Structure 1
Amino acid sequence: MGYLALGIRCLIGAVFLASAVSKVGGRGAFGRFVSSVRDLRLVPPRSAAPVALCVVAAEAAVCLLLAAPGPGAVAVAGFAVAGVLLGGFAAAVTLSVRRGVRTPCRCFGASTRPLGLRHVVRNLALTAAASAGAAAVLVSGAVRPDAPGGVVVAVTGGLLLGGLVVTLDDILDLFRPVGPAPGLARGR
């Protein structure tokens, strides 16, 4: 169970690290995130910036808690914060989609893809992963895997899955039907 906990720590940690960095890491990134929070129409417009700041701070806290060495309780706290955030994100996306809001997903930066069912499913799957990670830590105690090969596999697997989650919209867009290129004449 220690390897499973380590792999899930890497998965959830990578997802939250990419999410937090993408929201503050580039010119205008935080402003675009604040606009997307405002566009969701779930909080009063004047509260969008403080809510966005709290989201980024909580995402960073998840990364720190999951990366911190020490007793298993620290990792469990990281998984708990992640689970609460992900559940909240799933609820926010669901409410927004049901209201017909078509704001782009700013979960991992400058996406143009509007929020939709795939984002709800992704957040619920990550919530389940965070719960499984917490359970694995509780069952195995402090994560102390001893075989270097197992550590490499767990870390690599978690990071690869995290990368897949972060780029899921881009990957799914590769398989989306494409219309004719602008400016090209249609067949006669």
Structure 2
Amino acid sequence: MTYLVLFCRILLAGVFLAALVGKVRSAAAYREFAGSVVRLGLFSRRVSRVCAAVVVGVEVLVLVLLVPARTVPAGFLAAVVLLGAFAAGIVLALRAGNSAPCRCFGASSAPLGRVHVVRNLILAVAGAGGLAVAVTGAGAAWPPHAGGAAVAGVAALLVVFLVVRLDDLMSLFSSRPVMPAVGE
């Protein structure tokens, strides 16, 4: 179970780090993210801008809490709450007919869709699983064996890559052609 907690920690920390870097890598990137929150139409322009800042702050908080072993349960809990809020917000926006581009990791222009809800729910389940194991103490065997830790780390980083590149993967496997065929 130690490796499950480690996998979940690295997975969520990697996803939130990529999301945070995508949003704050430049002033323009942050403006794009804040604008995408406004375009979701869930709140007024002013409240949406505050929500964008809160999201960035909570992402930083999740990262900070997932590092030291004693705060890992709080980190998992914060991640689950934030991911649940993301999923709920996307569902509400989609029900209102709004599929503004997802700026979850920065520059993507892919419109929000069910895949984003599913992604966030799967990540929330990973956080809840990590929380459950961390709280029960079943994952307390520390330090883990180096080989097991390496496998958990590499597996988590592979999943982080897939999550971050999800929009590209969905486009790749979409039935709609992205570019016209040669000669058309």
Per the normalisation by structure 2, the TM-score is 0.92
| Alpha-carbon distance between aligned partners in 2 of 1:6 and 1:180, rounded to the nearest angstrom | 41
Match of 1:42? 42
1:12-45: CA deviations, max 9, x gaps?
Answer: 1100110111001135001011111111111111
| Counterparts of 1:165 and 1:95, CA distance in 2 | 22
Q: Does 1:181 align with 2:180?
A: yes
Shift of 1:102: 2.2
Alpha-carbon separation, structure 1, partners of 2:141 and 2:16: 20
Distance in 2 separating the partners of 1:153 and 1:8: 13
> Which of 98, 118, 137 is 1:121 aligned to?
118
The whole-number CA distance in structure 2 between the counterparts of 1:149 and 1:179 is 42
Aligned counterpart for 1:160 among listed residues 158, 161, 177: 158
Residues paired across the two proteins, number: 182
Amino acid at match of 1:2: T
Deviation at 1:146, TM superposition (A): 2.8
Contact 1:5 1:143 in 2 (8 A): no
Matching residue of 1:144: 142
RMSD (Å) for aligned C-alpha atoms: 1.8
Asked if residue 55 in structure 1 is aligned to residue 52 in structure 2, the reply is no
Counterpart residue number, 2:2:
2
Distance in 2 separating the partners of 1:61 and 1:165: 20
What do residues 138-178 of structure 1 show as CA deviations (whole Å, max 9, x unaligned)?
Answer: 23254614311011111111111111111111111111231
Aligned residues of 1:6 and 1:143 also touching (Cα < 8 A): no
Alpha-carbon deviations, 1:84-126, whole Å to 9, x = none? 0000000000000011112000101111111010001111111
* CA distance in structure 1 between the partners assigned to 2:5 and 2:124 by the alignment: 14
Distance 1:12-1:179 versus aligned 2 partners, 3 A rule: closer
- CA distance in structure 2 between the partners assigned to 1:46 and 1:184 by the alignment: 48
Unpaired segments ≥5 residues, structure 2: none
Q: What residue ranges of structure 1 are gaps of 5+ in the alignment?
A: none
Rounded Cα–Cα distance in structure 2 between residues aligned with 1:134 and 1:141: 10
Question: What's the secondary structure of 2:168's corresponding residue?
Answer: helix
Alignment check: 8 A CA contact 2:62 2:79 kept: yes
- Larger Rg, first or second structure (1 or 2): 1
| Contact 1:145–1:151 (Cα < 8 Å) also in 2 | no
Paired letter, 2:117: V
CA distance, structure 2, for counterparts of residue 182 and residue 125 of structure 1: 35
Assess if the C-alpha contact under 8 Å between 1:3 and 1:145 holds in 2.
no
One-letter amino acid of the structure 2 residue matched with residue 161 of structure 1? V
* Structure 1 length-normalised TM: 0.91
Conserved? CA contact 1:6–1:155, under 8 Å: yes
Distance 1:167 1:180, change over 3 A: closer
